[in-house]
């Protein structure tokens, strides 16, 4: 499945003329990564009995949104990170101006990619709504603000931040899958699953920050602690944090049952995601 995603990501970039902004977009989009968001979409689409080919371009669109958010988030004015996925961050290679433009280019390209997909217009319009709502200032971007402001002092606020920052794009993947599969009645459950999964995934990132080395995760470790960011570990301690993560995982399993899936791609993917550190 990852190979198919990589091939289609490259294909979606073919329409752009040679330019530095294309190089900047390509550098970050094709730098590996786990491709979790398109895989969530394709897996649920398969498990609902849909045609995975129909989810490839919407999945690429999601990965573009995710990638642009990393490029902008790494900028000196934001998190000021030097390494991402074992490579220098975009602005360290192309300069800040081209990192800003490359990010803008990826964000816009997500919608060009949706437009280019061979979905019918009703589904295209629904996917545009789902993607823009979850990615924008009602969703992921608002989560980035919470993150930057560093005003999170309790568990509820941390969970709200993680729901927005990560849950929204996961929800977007799963919501789009229900719509593409022609089962929009499952969109709300898919959204809830995405939120739970996003929070759980961020909890794990927090746990990894204190249990793994820089080499293993491909970016500077302890950077949260250096910036005195609140994490699930700083709020609850390591053991209670691991327990809460496990309880989220249990909720996720219940939500999976509720979706009445025909196959287990999504379940397998989620277990793979959770095995990272539990």
Phi, psi of 95 (to 5 degrees): 85, 160
CA distance 98 to 41: 30
- Asked whether position 129 contacts a second copy by CB under 8 A, the answer is yes
Which of the residues 186 through 215 are near a second copy (CB under 8 A)?
none
Among 122, 150, 247, 254, binds a second copy (CB under 8 A): 122
In the complex with a second copy, the residue whose CB is nearer, 99 or 259, is 99
CA distance 38 to 188: 19
The tokens describing 108, both together, are 């816009």
In the complex with a second copy, the residue whose CB is nearer, 116 or 211, is 116
- Asked whether position 10 contacts a second copy by CB under 8 A, the answer is no
Q: Which stretch binds a second copy (CB under 8 A): 34-42, 66-74, 192-200, 270-278?
A: 66-74
- Asked whether position 141 contacts a second copy by CB under 8 A, the answer is yes
- Asked whether position 105 contacts a second copy by CB under 8 A, the answer is yes
- Asked whether position 176 contacts a second copy by CB under 8 A, the answer is no
If one counts every other C-beta atom within 10 angstroms of the C-beta of residue 137, the result is 12
Q: Which stretch binds a second copy (CB under 8 A): 82-90, 95-103, 166-174, 208-216?
A: 95-103
Among 37, 39, 66, 72, binds a second copy (CB under 8 A): 72
Distances (CA, A) of 5 to 8, 38, 57, 187, 217: 5, 7, 9, 23, 22
- Asked whether position 82 contacts a second copy by CB under 8 A, the answer is no
- Asked whether position 107 contacts a second copy by CB under 8 A, the answer is yes
DSSP 186-198: GHHHHHHHHHHHH
DSSP 199-229: HHHHHHHHHHHHHS-HHHHTS-TTHHHHTT-
- Asked whether position 93 contacts a second copy by CB under 8 A, the answer is no
Cβ atoms of 190 and 249 closer than 8 Å? no
In the complex with a second copy, the residue whose CB is nearer, 126 or 245, is 126
The tokens describing 119, both together, are 């979905």
**Least spacing, CB of residue 31 vs a second copy, in Å:** 18
CA distance 109 to 82: 25
In the complex with a second copy, the residue whose CB is nearer, 114 or 252, is 114
CA-closest candidate to residue 109, choices 6, 16, 5: 16
The tokens describing 63, both together, are 């990965």
Cβ atoms of 19 and 71 closer than 8 Å? no
Which parts of this chain interact with a second copy (CB under 8 A)?
A: 15-17, 19-22, 25, 68-69, 72, 75, 77-78, 95-98, 100-101, 103-105, 107-109, 111-112, 114-116, 120-122, 124-125, 128-129, 131-133, 135-138, 141-142, 144-145, 148-149
């Amino acid at each position: 499945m990852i190979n198919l995603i990589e091939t289609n990501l490259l294909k979606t970039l073919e329409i752009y003329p040679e330019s530095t902004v294309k190089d900047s977009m390509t550098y970050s989009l094709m730098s590996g990564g786990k491709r979790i968001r398109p895989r969530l979409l394709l897996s649920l689409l398969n498990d609902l009995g849909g045609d995975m080919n129909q989810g490839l371009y919407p999945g690429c669109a999601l990965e573009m949104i995710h990638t642009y958010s990393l490029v902008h988030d790494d900028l000196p004015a934001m998190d000021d990170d030097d390494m991402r996925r074992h490579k220098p961050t975009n602005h360290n290679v192309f300069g800040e101006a081209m990192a800003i433009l490359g990010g803008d280019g990826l964000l816009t390209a997500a919608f060009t990619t949706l437009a280019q997909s061979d979905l019918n217009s009703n589904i295209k319009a629904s996917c545009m709504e789902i993607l823009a709502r979850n990615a924008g200032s009602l969703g992921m971007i608002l989560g980035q603000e919470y993150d930057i402001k560093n005003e999170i002092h309790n568990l509820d606020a941390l969970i709200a931040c993680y729901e927005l920052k990560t849950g929204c794009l996961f929800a977007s993947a799963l919501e789009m899958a229900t719509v593409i599969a022609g089962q929009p009645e499952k969109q709300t459950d898919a959204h809830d699953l995405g939120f739970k999964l996003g929070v759980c995934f961020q909890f794990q990132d927090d746990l990894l920050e204190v249990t793994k080395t820089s080499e293993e995760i491909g970016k500077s470790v302890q950077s949260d602690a250096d910036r005195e960011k609140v994490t699930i570990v700083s709020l609850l301690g390591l053991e209670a944090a691991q327990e809460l993560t496990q309880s989220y995982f249990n909720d996720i399993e219940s939500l999976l049952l509720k979706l009445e899936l025909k196959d287990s791609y999504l379940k397998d993917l989620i277990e793979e995601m959770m095995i990272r550190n539990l």
